[in-house]
Structure 1
């Protein structure tokens, strides 16, 4: 390190550019989790309450598809940065589009057009911002400086959870009393603050992410833009025809999107495993193991990401929203999860280091499935008690505590094991596949809300709980086989970056 670098301004011992990215991500997550904390209840509120008047089942499906698309568009977002814009401009334009989306939702009109437009803009903008801001964090450090890079990502992860913790409290308070658009406005202001900090702090990034990693030639750029334009036109035409037939509904749309999302990993895994692609026998073996880990992860997220829909409705309709003698609103319960994550991340990081190779990746995934299953057994008991009147909000506190134990057993190692098991020919693409497991889980989870039409809430929670626990036990039973397929050795845990 040069003398000049030694005396540069630092952020807790890290490059000051990390402060810029830390603040940008914190405010972006504030806007994302703030909206998520009130979206389902807004959609289910009646027009007299200034909501959309959807059923809780439809609202759950919409929130599930919305979350699923957020993770799915990270793949094209990463490609645009790598080939066209570069990470720095992708993050800026992503943040700008997200801000426009929140402004659209904040427009206090009775028409739902601005709501759907806002959600579409937020999805598109997040696809540009989310994957590329993490890339820029990594590029702040020399390639050989793994220790400081890991510590930098830990700080960055703290920013994510600070935004996630405060957003439901602030946005939920502002939206209380059916002031939904005021809550949406707070999310827009949050993204605007993050964008302003990003622009003002650009000089501290020292050129990181200015250029695409693998820019397209002018000819390839024209071809790519033409293909994207044709694809977009095709989607518009199909949607227009569907609407013109009079058969289009929000419910059917969420089902179609869910089926498309489900097809993505099926096609992708089929393409990898059925073609030659110069895969070695060892690489093919590892991919077979990864398929099972992918399914396990999707089942986990299917339950875990019902927090902003089914669990939020339970908080609103069936709990006494009093905590330590203070009244809270339903949205505030969405702050329990990031609070517990911030508390227990260092505990689990230390635990995995101490256990080392004695606990394998399949065992960690199995534990995560059992934990999220147990949390839903608690929900089943709470739902049973709620049939006689409102129950204590401490039931939800317990549910989120158990779920965080599961997340910290699965999420930190997800990207690591994906990178380790990826065939050399698909190394870069496979990292995006991990996020598709979240997308699949969110989409299916949203559709499970329809089960409430044919079964009671206690039965619903019990069914999903048993599904997760059985999957976890099955994974444990086949741990030895999976470890053989994976040729697994210990990988150090890194903080999750959702």
Structure 2
């Protein structure tokens, strides 16, 4: 660790939030409200897309709605590239987080008003860019609170992850109920209020709690570079806008074509990212070795998120169309199932945080944890075969099948996601710290970009094959990763 990093850690209050740095409080509640807004909107978005226009929706068919959801999710995480670059070269992570929150809030405000399909896509654009600025960088600031040798690090990320999911748990119950019972736009307005509260929390506590964390610009643009770089960016945006407008007007750039382009970018962008970082003169030999170790973890993360993220489109549609929405006399809303994932994480994250701290140096290696996550994700899809296999697809499924599926995937998520955040902050080349955190979220973008093509094949007729094939592939990859874990660990050069 450099002297500058040592000085930064010393100036950050190291106690004050459950034995962790006080800044974890600020980031915990900022992300809590940001996730409330994000998951609240997402809980009703699929239904808003395929509900008929005369019933308050946009009237897309279900297959198109599922693809739009996947593309939206992919672009949300893909935009982290922009956020990482701005943090690394211009503003630092702490300031980038704030400006991202402002854009998200305005995106939700626009979505809260009844409007046309173009207005919907405009709101999505603001939320996509805003989340790209905020999401990877707030996680990077968490990493800045700890030294690389601090054994509280994985536990701290687990607590932070619990804050994310507290917001995600409450949002579908509140926003989902309002949106489905009263009005979609009223539900979206609650998401805007949530992001506003997150910004207030951040502004009031950041100076006292975070200190210098996230203020440093790791690889700043030289004054002579700024004019050239901004000129190229502006020209590029203008050219893309003109070409896009022309192709849309000619009927060439349809939703289907755009979906395919995003799917291709989901593969190409991370590949180019790895190449640029690996061959950069700013990346040391040890950092190159760690990047090689990171590649199989990235692929494993892609497979995991390809399954987990289908909870908000395929399983959400399943909840709405294939599930008996009554349990023990209680009438259920289909959006409520989106609270299962964060609920289980809120309950189980402290258990996993305690477990990793209890095991200390005896805990499984990072690649082993990833392999467990993949196997469990696969099993969460395998169990969804049984309702159709036992009773066919003509009858509605017991809601407990969905509950079981979400529970199993959460067990996998707690093995992989908070550990992946922590591993990324430790394996990242120093000159690309925020951008490598963006690369971690890009694994989710790549997964959802691929999902945009895969979800088209889901239907009641293909249900058994759909869940069985995807679940089986995940389990197989998990077993392969488990066998390769010792070799991957060697490439990590002392990082656990």
Per the normalisation by structure 2, the TM-score is 0.87
Does the Cα contact within 8 Å between 2:140 and 2:425 map onto a contact in 1? no
Q: Deviations over 1:392-437 (max 9, x none)?
A: 1111110011101111111132234445555667566433322211
Match of 2:7 in 1: none
- 5+ long unaligned stretches in structure 1: 492-498
8 A contact 2:51–2:58 mirrored in 1: yes
State the Cα distance separating 1:338 from its structure 2 match: 0.9
1:56 aligns with 2:62: yes
| Residue number in structure 2 paired with 1:438 | 444
- Within 1, Cα distance between the matches of 2:215 and 2:284? 36
Counterpart contact for 2:137–2:437, Cα < 8 Å: no
* Distance in structure 2 (CA, Å) of the matches to 1:199 and 1:58: 39
Are the structure 2 counterparts of residues 381 and 453 from structure 1 closer, same or farther at C-alpha, using a change threshold of 3 Å? closer
User: What's 1:496 paired with?
Assistant: none
Summarize the Cα distance change of 1:211–1:429 in structure 2 as closer, same or farther, 3 Å threshold.
closer
- 1:267 equivalent to 2:272? Answer yes
> How far has the Cα of 1:454 moved from its partner?
10
Partner of 1:310 in structure 2?
314
Deviation at 1:391, TM superposition (A): 1.5
The 1:293–1:15 alpha-carbon spacing in structure 2 relative to 1, beyond 3 Å, is: closer
Contact 2:393 2:460 in 1 (8 A): no
**2:192 matches 1:188:** yes
Deviation of the 1:363 alpha carbon: 2.8
Q: 2:248 aligns with which of 243, 246, 263?
A: 243
Rounded Cα–Cα distance in structure 1 between residues aligned with 2:424 and 2:375? 21
* Aligned equivalents of 2:87, 2:461: Cα separation in 1: 46
**Counterpart check, 1:460 vs 2:438:** no
CA pair 137-482 structure 1, distance change in 2 beyond 3 A: closer
Task: Give the 3 Å change call, closer, same or farther, for CA 87–307 of structure 1 in structure 2.
Answer: same
Matches within 5 A, 1:343-358: 343-352=347-356, 353-354=358-359, 356-357=361-362
Matching residue of 1:198: 202
Aligned match of 1:169: 173
Mean alpha-carbon deviation: is it higher for 299-308 or for 358-367?
358-367
Two-structure CA RMSD over aligned residues (Å): 3.2
Which residue of structure 2 aligns with residue 340 of structure 1?
Answer: 344
- The SS at the match of 1:176 is helix
- In structure 2, the CA distance between the partners of 1:12 and 1:291, relative to structure 1 (3 Å rule), is closer
Task: Report if aligned partners of 1:356, 1:490 keep a CA contact under 8 Å in 2.
Answer: no
How do residues 30-45 of structure 1 correspond to structure 2 at under 5 angstroms?
A: 30-45=36-51
Task: Note if 1:156 corresponds to 2:175.
Answer: no
Report how many residues are paired: 483
| Correspondence list, 1:96-107, <5 A | 96-107=102-113
Determine whether 1:330 maps to 2:334: yes
User: Are 1:414 and 2:420 an aligned pair?
Assistant: yes
CA contact (8 A) 1:87 1:133 kept: yes
- CA distance, structure 2, for counterparts of residue 197 and residue 289 of structure 1: 37
Preserved CA contact (<8 Å) 1:277 1:425: no
In 2, Cα distance between equivalents of 1:487 and 1:81: 25
From 258, 261, 276, give the equivalent of 1:256: 261
- The aligned runs of 1:199-238 (5 Å cut-off) are 199-201=203-205, 204-205=208-209, 208=212, 209=214, 212-238=217-243
Structure 2, unaligned runs of 5 or more: 1-10
- Aligned partners of 1:407, 1:18: CA distance in 2, in Å? 21
Instruction: Kindly indicate whether residue 409 of structure 2 is the aligned counterpart of residue 403 of structure 1.
Output: yes
**Structure 1 contact 360–488 (Cα < 8 Å) conserved:** no
SS of residue matched to 1:53 = coil
Q: CA deviation at 1:357?
A: 5.0
Q: What is the CA–CA distance in structure 2 between the aligned matches of 1:276 and 1:81, rounded to whole Å?
A: 19
Q: Distance in 1 between matches of 2:483 and 2:21?
A: 46
How many Å apart are 1:95 and its aligned residue? 1.4
- Match runs of 1:292-311 below 5 Å: 292-311=296-315
Q: Deviations over 1:376-401 (max 9, x none)?
A: 11112224435131121111110011
1:170 Cα shift? Answer: 0.3
Q: 1:93-132 to 2 correspondence within 5 Å?
A: 93-109=99-115, 111-132=116-137
Question: Is the counterpart of residue 449 in structure 1 residue 484 in structure 2?
Answer: no
How far has the Cα of 1:174 moved from its partner? 0.3
Could you tell me how far apart the structure 2 residues matched to 1:278 and 1:220 are?
18
Contact 1:20 1:204 in 2 (8 A): no
Q: Which residue of 1 aligns with 2:373?
A: 368
1:107–1:114 CA contact under 8 A, matched in 2? no
The worse-fitting range, judged by mean Cα deviation, of 42-51 and 87-96 is: 87-96
d(CA) in 2 for partners of 1:362, 1:14 = 26
Taking structure 1 as the reference length, the TM-score comes to 0.86
Q: Does the 8 A contact of 2:326 with 2:332 survive in 1?
A: yes
User: What is the alpha-carbon distance in structure 2 between the residues aligned to residue 146 and residue 197 of structure 1?
Assistant: 27
Is the 8 Å Cα contact of residues 50 and 65 (structure 2) preserved in structure 1? yes
Residues in 2 aligned to 1:334 and 1:13: alpha-carbon distance in whole angstroms: 31
- Deviations for 1:135-178, whole angstroms, at most 9, x for unmatched residues? 44455x58599467766555433321210110010011001146
Please give the alpha-carbon distance, in whole angstroms, between the structure 1 residues aligned to 2:489 and 2:19: 39
Give 1:203 shift.
5.0
**1:29 CA drift (Å):** 0.7
Q: 1:357 to 1:142 in 2, by over 3 A?
A: closer
Tell me the CA shift for residue 213 of structure 1: 4.9
For the 8 Å contact 2:153–2:422, the answer to whether it is kept is no
